[in-house]
Amino acid sequence: MSARFIAPVLMGIFMLVLWEGLVRAMAIPPYILPGPILVAKTLVSDWGTLWPALVVTLTITLQALLAAVLVGGALALLFSLSRWIELSLFPYAIILQVTPIVAIAPLIIAWVDDVDVSLLICAWLVAFFPILSNTVLGLRSVDRNLLDLFELYGASRWRTLLELRLPAALPYFLGGLRISGGLALIGAVVAEFVAGSGGRASGLAYRILESGYQLKIPRMFAALVLISAAGIAIYLLLSLISHLLLRRWHESALGEER
Amino acid sequence: MPLVRVRDVSQVFANGVQALGGVSLDIGVGEFLSVLGPSGCGKSTLLRLLAGLAEPTAGTIDWPQGRPDLGFVFQEPTLMPWTTALGNVALPLKLRGQARSEREARAAEALAGVGLAGFEKSFPRELSGGMKMRVSIARALVTEPKLLLMDEPFAALDEITRRKLNTDLLALWERTRFTAVFVTHSVFESVFLSQRIAVMSARPGRVRSELAISAPYPRTETFGTSADYAALCRLASAQLSDAMAA
Ligand SMILES: Nc1ncnc2c1ncn2[C@@H]1O[C@H](COP(=O)(O)OP(=O)(O)OP(=O)(O)O)[C@@H](O)[C@H]1O
Ligand SMILES: [Mg+2]
């Protein structure tokens, strides 16, 4: 608890004070760089516009993450069951992964009528790969001897999957999930930017764009703060889930207890 | 009539490595047999063949009385970290579709049998190396197998724990008289435990000689420090050297 918690908080306070101090001392106008106090005030005064935008972005992010878990997890299972399916599909999963989302977002937004659906697809595209590749790795990393043991006692393929491969893959899956959580948010925000610059309004990123056009820089900062806060919250939440699921047995969850 | 008759069994792996080069061996019902050989001579390969986890490239393995139920103890504890000692021991029963209450009762009994009563709810990470090995042995014994295959089960343990587990293993064996095949590269261990030692040559492995140990059971510390024991160890050691030189 102590140093791990206090050190970053002190550092944060110091940076904020420095920021506010510099802005005041150098009399930087708010449309160039607003101080943290002004940003905080804007956050409160513009809450009426920012909150609904945050809800939109978070909804897309969480839906995309859920879709990533379902599709990524299901594909990983398929891959582990059939080498052929894996060989034929995995390269395409990689292609989807390495293609920058900004490059394909305009296409998807143009093709899909519903903005929210197109944003969801973009965020999902960015988020699903870590879950897929981590889960595939996990399903494969089962102790050889344990596999032999299951064979020895005549366990079916299905039984082995359920009782052995899935639990063994869980830590890997959860690692992928934590990465995907952040990526889903990034994907959603990037897609919102692309959609926003095309005149289709949605979410926090659109508010940032809009504030930029209108030179409402404090509001832009307030929106940025919200995005960061959302990212941190998602990461903490997923870490907590992971910790709760693994704390009884997995090495990764032990560090904090000792 | 032996439990199993191994004849001229060879095993060549896909990468061209020949692990076994014509192993012939009979194993009697209720016998305690040690397989002694240098590292890499194919001992684990032979055990896997006996367990039916692989098919020999050449030669035959006959079970005149049919394939018995078997238990397998790996070189490492090989426990599932996500479940408790009880859950691990109950696994074979679970895979056979036994009801929860029944399998947990039997697993608890098996744990008590290896001196781990009270540790049912412990996860593998909460157990010492020796305790994990005991859990592994309990898991192999929970189905009351007719044949117990053990692959250097105590190789990674310290001398004190190892001695204790050797004694415990013999006590278990004397109680139920399953057939035991105990792979080891320790001359002392093989002499202390077994009724017969099959000495294997270096790779490609084959049984070069056999040595009967007629000392009566129960074998205790007294046997372990006797002149007979020392003489037998010397004999086994000489045979092992011969087998490795050949
Ligand atoms: N799956 C495999 N594919 C290829 N070669 C293998 C395989 N398994 C074992 N071998 C080789 O076969 C030989 C015998 O291996 P094995 O594991 O049976 O030896 P061992 O007598 O049990 O040795 P140790 O005492 O070190 O455990 C070794 O040279 C090993 O490299
Ligand atoms: Mg071995």
How far A64 CA lies from chain B's nearest CA (Å)?
A: 29
Chain A to chain B Cβ contacts (< 8 Å): 52
pLDDT given for residue A254 in this prediction: 65
Average pLDDT value for residue range B67-81: 93
Residues with CB under 6 A from ligand 1: B 13, 15, 17, 19, 37, 39-45, 185, 203
One DSSP character per residue, chain B reads --SEEEEEEEEE-TTS-EEEEEEEEEE-TT-EEEEE--TTSSHHHHHHHHHTSS--SEEEEE-TT-PPPEEEE-SS----TTS-HHHHHHHHHHHTT--HHHHHHHHHHHHHHTT-TT-TT--GGGS-HHHHHHHHHHHHHTT--SEEEEESTTTTS-HHHHHHHHHHHHHHHHHH--EEEEEES-HHHHHHH-SEEEEEPSSSB-EEEEEE--PPSSP-HHHHTSHHHHHHHHHHHHHHHHHHH-
The label of the residue with tokens 């760089």 reads A33
Would you state the structure tokens that stand for residue B62, as one six-digit string? 């006959």
Residue with the bigger pLDDT between A200 and A186: it is: A186
Would you state the structure tokens that stand for residue A216, as one six-digit string? 């409402």
What is the distance between the alpha carbons of residues B47 and B43, in angstroms, rounded to a whole number?
6
Cα first-last separation, chain B? 31
- Is the Cβ pair A143, B53 closer than 8 Å? no
Return all residues near A158 (Cβ < 8 A) that are at least 6 apart: none
What is the distance between the alpha carbons of residues B46 and B51, in angstroms, rounded to a whole number?
9
Tell me the ipTM for this assembly.
0.90
CB of B240 within 8 A of CB of B184?
no
**Ligand 1 atom 11 nearest Cα:** B19
pLDDT class of A16 with cuts at 50, 70, 90: very high
- Chain B CB contacts of A172 under 8 Å are none
A55-247 is classed CATH 2.40.110.10? no
> B83: nearest CA in chain A?
A249
- Spatial CA neighbour of B3 closest among B179, B150, B197, B151: B179
- Spatial CA neighbour of A188 closest among A91, A3, A63: A63
pLDDT given for residue B121 in this prediction: 94
pLDDT given for residue B203 in this prediction: 83
**Ligand 1 atom 22 nearest Cα:** B44
- Please state the domain extents for chain A: 55-247
% of residues, chain B, pLDDT over 90: 75
Contact with chain A for residue B156, Cβ under 8 A: no
What is the distance between the alpha carbons of residues B97 and B90, in angstroms, rounded to a whole number?
11
For the ranges A9-18, A95-104, A195-204, the maximum mean pLDDT occurs at: A9-18
Top residue of B95, B100, B121, B132 to mutate, by most chain A CBs within 10 Å, is B95
Top residue of A141, A152, A164 to mutate, by most chain B CBs within 10 Å, is A152
- Is the Cβ pair B70, A159 closer than 8 Å? no
pLDDT given for residue B157 in this prediction: 82
Ligand index nearest the alpha carbon of residue B186: 1
The label of the residue with tokens 């859950």 reads B87
pLDDT digits (tens, 9 = 90+) for A35-64: 999 999 999 999 999 999 999 999 999 999
| Ligand 1 atom index nearest CA of B17 | 5
What is the distance between the alpha carbons of residues A5 and B151, in angstroms, rounded to a whole number?
48
- Is the Cβ pair B78, A146 closer than 8 Å? yes
% of residues, chain A, pLDDT over 70: 97
- Chain B CB contacts of A155 under 8 Å are 95
pTM: 0.87
Distance B4 CA to ligand 2 centre (A): 21
pLDDT digits (tens, 9 = 90+) for B187-239: 999 999 999 999 999 888 899 999 999 989 989 888 889 999 999 999 999 99
